[in-house]
Amino acid sequence: MIPKFDPKELEVVGKVPGRMGAPENLIYNFPVSPREGMLAMYKRKPIWQITNVENMSFNPRVIPDNVARAFVLEAVPFPIENVGGKDMFGLDWEYIPTVGGSIVRPGKPFLSDANEWYDKLKWPDINSWNWKESYEINKDYLKKGRFVSTWLFTGWFERLISFMDFEAAILAMVDDEQVDAVKELFFKLTDLYIKIADKLLEDYPEIDCFYIHDDWGSQRETFFSPSVVEEVLVPPIRKFNDYVHSRGRIAEFHSCGQLFKQVPNMIACGFDAWSGQPMNDTVKIYELYGDKIIIGVIPEIPDVMSLSEDEMRAAAREFVAKFCNPDKPCIVNANFRAYPAPFREELYIASRKKFSGE
């Protein structure tokens, strides 16, 4: 039974820095740990409205892609001047400071045809990575009571892009002479990713979630038809997610772009959650699919910073009335990090009361 809301819960017990200059977020004196609150939401028995302050990312430097992709998050900060470089397949990534990310510089693809992978790819020996050092760096880092997500760089289609460049990778997904090789490559990648996940869970049993990064779309449209995703991407990703679920963990999807058409395929992949970018109608996606996959909903507020405090609180209560459904929970999308304290506080109060039956 969910306990009733107690005003003492509004005591601030921690703070999470905002992203890209956004206000810091407060961690309240929740009735259970932030981790337990997240897990309750995934079990569709939410206690309060989840906003991602309950979550922490863990991307250790021991995995070469985390360094190459410039997204190391662990106990000891990683020097930004050292990011980029070789990924787990030995391909060079270049960090672009203006966009805060890395790319494999196009123009000289490692593979000119997907069929070449059988002979040209050298598969990484993950046991040669310095896991012992990683453990010593991070052994106490994850014991904070927050929900721990580790990112999977780089996903199946993005890995194909890194091998072939974007245009050739798109073509290989639909070319009759290449698509079988692509399918076999993707299953081989799945086997590798399962081995990496298994090693992570061996050393870091605190990991709750695998946050899988594979961009499928642009600002306007998905890169490929739903039928192509269903045929080529769903089976290998489903195999990975089935493994994640067999270990009692969550599989969340990170995929940029306009992906409304692909949500049924995300469900078929076995993803537990997806938070789309603002070009997606997250409200409509929630209404259509929120009973099958937990959606990151972007509040329908044009400019919350221009509102008075009373208006902010009213907007939060409106969100709770519409989206805080115990059997159909959602996550307040990452844009939430830019919302001011009165909105966040009222969102917490109103959702706690609703989920506890007040």
Amino acid at 118: Y
**CA separation for the pair 57, 210 (Å, rounded):** 10
CB contact at 8 A, 118 and 55: no
The H-or-E segment that residue 12 falls in is strand 12-16
327 exposure class (CB count in 10 Å sphere: 0-12, 13-18, 19+): exposed
122-160 pLDDT, tens per residue?
999 999 999 999 999 999 999 889 999 999 999 999 999
The model's confidence at residue 302, banded by pLDDT at 50, 70 and 90, is low
Percent of the chain predicted with pLDDT > 70 = 97
Give 22's pLDDT tier (boundaries 50, 70, 90).
low
CATH architecture of 49-344: Alpha-Beta Barrel (3.20)
Q: Which pair of structure tokens corresponds to residue 286? A: 């929630």
Nearest to 280 by CA among 267, 264, 262: 262
pTM higher than 0.85 for the full model? yes
**Residues 82-89: what's their mean pLDDT?**
97
Query: What was the pLDDT predicted at 336?
Result: 45
281: left (phi over 0), alpha (psi -120 to 50) or beta: beta
**Structural domain boundaries of the chain?**
49-344
Q: Is pLDDT of 239 > 90?
A: yes
Residue of 154, 183, 169 whose CA lies nearest to 70: 154
Q: State residue 262 phi and psi, 5-degree precision.
A: -95, 0
